[in-house]
Structure 1
Amino acid sequence: MHVTAWAFIYEHPDTDPVEDRIVIDRAGQRTYLVPVPTPAEAPATAIALIDEGIGLIELCGGFALVDAARVVEAVDGRVPVGHVTFAVDSGQGLAAYSAQFEAEQSPA
């Protein structure tokens, strides 16, 4: 399989998957970095990207397994869907990142 266009979908609050996407088009390859405001919007976004010609979708490791499964189900085998995962030894770094993010989101 030769894929010339692929997308990485990640969660980012208050974003629009069309307006806020970044497209990198180089050397015959097109990469889409696509935010979704909530995981619930990822399946519809994935389908829309496939309809635009995307041949492969990667999901950010921040998506829960159940959310990734919903995307796989929605895509129904039309393109491969990958899901970034984190090794067990990265747990401490992930916990620190999560704690910092939560602290920054809390009202002062």
Structure 2
Amino acid sequence: MALTKFGFIVTGDDFVQYQGTEKFSMKVVGVSDASKGVAVAKEMVAEGIQLIELCGGFSPVWAGKIIEAIDYKVPVGVVAYGPESIDSMYRLFAN
């Protein structure tokens, strides 16, 4: 089976956007709080999304909660930033 349905969850503002072609679809969902990612991921799995990627704004703790909430039904990846980005990430998400 090829990947045809991809989901991305980003922290920031609440929104939903769809992109894709006849053979591939992507659902991007923005959440104003990482805790909202749990419900979004469950919804994505119910819609048949095959793989979920979380933005770097999700901590490992929230990634784990999301993975457990969907009962490991699809792979969940997390965008990671290297140590050189720690200070700028802190400034970005501190408020």
After superposing on structure 2, the runs of 4+ consecutive aligned residues of structure 1 that deviate more than 4 Å are: none
Q: Structure 1: how far apart are the matches of 2:65 and 2:25? A: 25
1:89 Cα deviation (Å)? 3.2
Tell me which residue corresponds to 1:81: 76
Query: Does 2:16 correspond to 1:24?
Result: no
Relative to structure 1, the CA distance from residue 96 to residue 83 in structure 2 (aligned partners, 3 Å threshold; closer, same or farther) is closer
The corresponding residue for 1:44 is 39
Q: Superposed, which structure 2 residues align to 1:48-67 within 5 Å?
A: 48-67=43-62
1:88 Cα deviation (Å)? Answer: 2.2
The Cα RMSD (Å) is: 1.9
Equivalent AA in structure 2 for residue 41 of structure 1: K
**Paired position in structure 1 for 2:8:** 8
Separation in structure 1 between the aligned mates of residue 9 and residue 42 of structure 2, nearest angstrom: 12
Which protein shows a greater Rg? 1
- Displacement after TM superposition at 1:101 (Å): 6.5
* TM-score of the aligned structures, taking structure 2 as reference length: 0.86
Deviation at 1:84, TM superposition (A): 0.9
For residue 34 of structure 1, give the secondary structure of its aligned residue in structure 2. strand
Aligned-pair CA distance for 1:62: 1.0
Matched position secondary structure for 2:56:
coil
Percent identical pairs in the alignment equals 33
State the alpha-carbon separation in 2 of the partners of residues 36 and 99 from structure 1.
Answer: 19
Unaligned residue ranges in structure 2 (runs of 5+):
none
